[in-house]
Amino acid sequence: MDASERPRRSLIWDYVTINTSQTNYLFSGDGTYFISGNVTLSGTNTTFESGAVIKYTNNVTLTVNTPISWQAANYRPIVLLSKLCAE
Look at residue 5 and tell me if it is in a domain.
no
> What mean pLDDT is reported for the chain?
87
Percent of the chain scoring above 70 in pLDDT? 84
Q: How many domains does the chain have?
A: 1
Look at residue 6 and tell me if it is in a domain.
no
Look at residue 7 and tell me if it is in a domain.
no
Average pLDDT over residues 44-67: 93
What is the rounded distance in angstroms from the CA atom of residue 46 to the CA atom of residue 75? 22
Q: pLDDT at position 68, please?
A: 95
Strands 53-56 and 79-82: parallel
Q: pTM of the prediction?
A: 0.79
Structural domain of 44: 15-82
Give residue 11's pLDDT band: very low, low, confident or very high (50, 70, 90). Answer: low
HSE-CB of 31 using CA atoms within 13 angstroms: 15
Cα-based torsion angle of the residue sequence 11, 15, 18, 23 in order, rounded to the nearest 10 degrees: 130
